[in-house]
Amino acid sequence: MTDLKSEAKKSSSTRFSRRTILKTASAAGAFLAAPSLIPAKALGKNGAVPPSDKVVLGGLGIGGRGSYDLRRLMQEPDVICVAACDPQKSRLEQTKQLIDSRYENSDCATYRDIREYLAERTDIDALLITTGDRWHALASIMAMRAGKDVYSEKPSSMTIAEGQGVVDTAQRYCRVYQSGMQRLSEANFTFANELLRLGRLGEVRTVRAHIAPWDAAKMSFDWRPGEPEPPIEETDWDAWLGPCPWRPYHSQYCKGGWRGYYDFHTSCIGEWGAHTFAQCQVAIGAADTSAIDYGYVDNESGDGMVTKFANGVNMILERDLEKKYWHGSCGVRYEGTEGWVAIADGYEKPEVSNPALLADFDKIVNEYSERTLRPMNHWRNFVDCIKNRRSAVANPVVMHRSMTTVHAANICMWLLRDMKFDPIKEEFLDDAEANRLRSRAMREPWII
């Protein structure tokens, strides 16, 4: 085929002959008249999504839960995952294999440094962040500053200050953000929330939120004994630690053994409260605020702590070891003057005080989706919001305000006293010691 650019360059120094002009025009016409060379999928035919309409996704710190999230996102026909980043070689290779097997190729690019990753991959629209807790907020902020939308697993902040940083960054850079509080997109939990919102339970003054029945609120300030550090090519220990204080390498940290340590975790309260507090706060109309009173309880976990919101609703933290309020994980229960509803993982339908409350289950869930334009699919909601630029169901404000309640409950347990919190100023009242715990020092260069 004639090179049209080279022909154009010749025209500036030599005169075209009539034959040359006709030959060039003929070649160009032949190119334009060859639609059979364009694959049908590139045009969006036969149900395929054209590349121009696909959301280009990258993964960061993909492990067990992250692999589940990644599979769910890659099931969406308008999502394509092209790259992954992880400071651990073994996990990075596993993630690449997962992505390549989905697309039946070997195209997934790999990176070990998040800074290089974000700088080079300007083609990536969104980042799936499923690192350990210590990295969630910082990686989200770095990604949004680089122009990426973010899906971050929970708990999505380690401190009140980190949550503020996520909210500010999302607003400043106009980014879509979804926290992995997926029960906000599940029919059973949504139905329970709607029963409360619609007044079907009467006046609700008490809600109960599940906290993890293992570990403690009072975490260890110690650290594991050091082991020989692996070669940086196998595990970049500095990058794995990220903003946390420098600690000696121990292989168990890299296998999830960081839970229960203050440096890395948000305690048993944050482990499940990251889900259940958000659930309760959305239900009681407090998604944009946090609890104002925290009552210290003399135990290791915070079990039985009463947190009170400005609207008068009490949210009680429950381990529920005797399964008095629900069975299953991440349970919530809403108690009103005209009935109650309880739901946790593994239910076919919510438990209610009166079976008549379940009569409109499908109708209520469908009307919620129609009103909010949110499907009962947390990952689809994220993708839809990337395209329509709406706010996701677990948006930065919902995440931050519910996680602030988590962090304040932790601080109450650590300082062994009742707390009062101003959710407008986002500070504890007359308590300098508590206010200092709203943030943690971050280790350079891993700082907000």
Question: DSSP characters for 234-303?
Answer: TB-HHHHHTTSPP----GGGGGTTTTTBTTT--HHHHHHHHHHHHHHHHHTT-TTS--SEE---SSSS-T
* Co-location of 198 and 317 in the same domain: yes
Looking at the fold, whether 120 and 204 belong to one and the same domain comes out as no
- SS3 helix, strand, coil % of the chain, rounded to 5? 40, 15, 45
Tell whether 322 is covered by a domain: yes
Sort residue 161 into left (φ over 0), alpha (ψ -120 to 50) or beta. Answer: alpha
The residue type found at 89 is K
Same domain, 85 and 127: yes
The SS3 call for residue 315 is: strand
H or E element, residue 179: strand 177-179
Q: Same structural domain for residues 205 and 69? A: no
Same domain, yes or no, for 102 and 14?
no
Q: Kindly state the tokens that stand for 229.
A: 């550090």
From CA 424, how far away is CA 173, in angstroms rounded? 23
Local structure of 407: helix, strand or coil = helix
Q: Are 65 and 175 part of one and the same domain?
A: yes
Task: Verify that 328 and 415 share a domain, yes or no.
Answer: yes
Nearest to 252 by CA among 243, 244, 264, 242: 264
Tell me, yes or no, whether 16 and 71 share the same domain.
no
Does 209 map to a domain? yes
Residue 87 within a domain: yes
**Cβ 417 vs Cβ 276: under 8 Å:** no
CATH number of domain containing 347: 3.30.360.10
Q: Find all residues with CB under 8 Å of 388, minimum gap 6, and list them.
A: none
- Return the exposure string of 210-242: e unless at least 16 CB atoms fall within 10 Å of the residue's CB, then b: bbbeebbbbbeeebbeeeeeeeeeebbbebbbb
Quick check: is 245 in a domain? no
Q: For residue 235, tell me if it sits in a domain.
A: no
Do 178 and 204 share a structural domain?
Answer: no
Is there a single domain that holds both residue 120 and residue 200? no
Q: What is the pTM of this model?
A: 0.89
Angle CA(119)–CA(121)–CA(122) in degrees, nearest 5?
85
Q: How far is CA 168 from CA 112, 129, 144, 159, 429, in A?
A: 27, 18, 10, 14, 23
229 falls within a domain: no
In this structure, the answer to whether residues 190 and 101 fall within a common structural domain is no
Q: What does each of the 448 residues of the chain score in pLDDT, given as a tens digit?
A: 334 334 333 333 333 343 343 344 444 443 334 444 445 454 455 667 877 799 999 999 999 999 999 999 999 999 999 999 999 999 999 999 999 999 999 999 999 999 999 999 999 999 999 999 999 999 999 999 999 999 999 999 999 999 999 999 999 999 999 999 999 999 999 999 999 999 999 999 999 999 999 999 999 999 999 999 999 999 999 999 999 999 999 999 999 999 999 999 999 999 999 999 999 999 999 999 999 999 999 999 999 999 999 999 999 999 999 999 999 999 999 999 999 999 999 999 999 999 999 999 999 999 999 999 999 999 999 999 999 999 999 999 999 999 999 999 999 999 999 999 999 999 999 999 999 999 999 999 999 8
Closest to 403 measured CA to CA, from 291, 320, 328, 243? 291
My answer on whether 14 and 71 are in the same domain is: no
Q: Which helix (H) or strand (E) holds 422?
A: strand 419-422
Is residue 295 packed enough to be buried (19+ CB in 10 Å), middle (13-18) or exposed (0-12)? Answer: middle
Q: What is the pLDDT of residue 49?
A: 80
| Domain of residue 65, CATH code | 3.40.50.720
Q: Assess if residue 429 is contained within a domain.
A: yes
Q: Which residues fall within 8 angstroms of residue 191, CB to CB, at 6 or more apart?
A: 343, 350, 361, 364, 365
State the DSSP H helix or E strand holding residue 197, giving kind and residue range, or none if neither: helix 187-197
Residue 437's pLDDT is 98
Residue 333 is predicted with a pLDDT of: 98
Has residue 301 been placed in a domain?
yes
Please, are residues 294 and 409 in contact by the beta-carbon 8 Å criterion?
yes
* Number of domains observed in the structure of the chain: 3
Write out the residue range of the structural domain in which residue 112 sits: 51-182
